[in-house]
Amino acid sequence: MNAESRIARAGYIGKFLNRLVAEGGRDGCLVIMTSALGVGVGLLGLPILTIGLFMAPLHADLGWTRAQISGASTCINLATICAAPFIGGLCDRFGVRRVALASLMSLTLGFCALAAMNASLTLYYGIWFVMSVGAVGTSGIVWTRAVGTFFERNRGQALGLALTGTAFAALLAPLTLGVVIADFGWRSGYLALGAVSLLTIPVAFLFFKERHDSEIANAGEAPIETSGASFSEATHDPKFWIIGSSIFLSVLGMGSFLVHFVPLAIDSGVQPVVAGRMFAIIGLSMLCGRIFIGTLLDRFDPIVVSSAALFVPTLVCGLLLLQPISPIATTAMSAALIGFSAGAEIDILPFLVARYFGLRSYGAIYGSELAFFAAGSGIGSILTGHVRDTSGTYMPALMGGILVFSLSALIMLLMRRSPRVSLAE
């Protein structure tokens, strides 16, 4: 039976990969792999996922509070709100490759500046903001647009694989960067992040590109890159605001979980070293969530799938509030559910934008929707840090999380009352 199960799983994986190769070809598959690397290294990958790893050493060395250190995520998200629509427009006009390379260089320089900073909190925020404005082009705006030009029938699966980069980042960062910080200090940790982003530049230069209409026509397929709504048409469509509102509420809570998971686990009675390692569970679960939800989005009603996935964190809040089992077991289960849901929501946004608005103005539309994502993440993480600093516990934040996650799932269901329109020009 075990041998038969392994053969069946191998057969399914083979069919899964064959579908992607048949539609996107060799170049499409290389773009998926390069995008996975870029998403993991990019602004909404390693930079924001590792803030929690720097909290304890920065607090011990510089005396900053959790809320102050969490302000880095607010800087990232404020920069995303300001720059994402503009960067998305640049991608639509000039192509994603140039934007990605320039943004990766900005990320590299920013990490080097953080490694050299003094105890000025203003400087800390300034570096994060300036770096983030320049590095918005390493977010999903760039990577998902390129993937979307290669895949349509299996777009959910392709996006799911491309977006596994953040899952790998969440999985590997505690096991690698955590060791660097513990052994060599937080400055070396920032230098290590800078080295990773620098090494990503030649990979993106060699393998990252879009599939143009001429290539699609030569393959005997209908052009997909120029179809869809204009930016103006999208912003006048209720679906644009429904997606943005739902994602805002979801990320309002999820951003807090990702930034504060390690300190929350420590407060629950888990040892710091164990809590750091448990963050890797989020990465593993996120990896599974990305691929699983991406497949479901291709096969079933994407609105129902999205709403169900966005509701999952409500269970996490209840689990952490009730603590029905030991702290370690509760934290481990919570990490698995957090990772799964975080993996889902990153899949949902680009898939719905491409499905309902097409690729004609994808960069500008996705960039604007990403502003909702960034606003939720920035507000949530700083608010949660403030609640913890003032009340001495994360319990009020968890109770608020039940409300916002439930509302997010309900709002997404409103999409069913707003029919999909033709994307033809």
Query: Binning pLDDT at 50, 70 and 90, where does residue 3 land?
Result: low
Q: How far apart are CA 368 and CA 240, in angstroms?
A: 9
Q: Take residue 179 and report the two structure tokens written for it.
A: 């060791």
Q: Max alpha carbon distance in the chain (Å)?
A: 63
The predicted pLDDT at position 389 comes to: 79
| pTM attached to this predicted model | 0.75
Q: What is the mean pLDDT of residues 220-237?
A: 70
Query: Binning pLDDT at 50, 70 and 90, where does residue 242 land?
Result: very high
The predicted pLDDT at position 223 comes to: 45
* Alpha-carbon radius of gyration of the chain: 21
Q: How far apart are CA 85 and CA 154, in angstroms?
A: 26
Domains along the chain? 26-209+225-415 (1.20.1250.20)
Torsion of CA 110, 382, 53, 63, to 10 degrees: 90
Q: How far apart are CA 50 and CA 399, in angstroms?
A: 25
Query: Binning pLDDT at 50, 70 and 90, where does residue 37 land?
Result: very high
Query: What confidence tens digit (pLDDT) does each residue in 327-345 have?
Result: 888 888 888 888 888 767 7
Query: What confidence tens digit (pLDDT) does each residue in 71-116 have?
Result: 887 888 788 888 888 888 888 888 888 999 999 999 999 999 999 9
Q: Is 247 helix (H, G, I), strand (E, B) or coil?
A: helix
For residue 47, how many other CB atoms are within 10 A of its CB? 26
Closest CA to 200 of 141, 144, 138: 138
Answer yes or no: is pLDDT of 167 > 80.
no
Q: Nearest 5°: phi and psi at 138?
A: -100, 5
The predicted pLDDT at position 169 comes to: 82
Torsion of CA 32, 33, 38, 41, to 10 degrees: 140
Q: Is 185 helix (H, G, I), strand (E, B) or coil?
A: coil
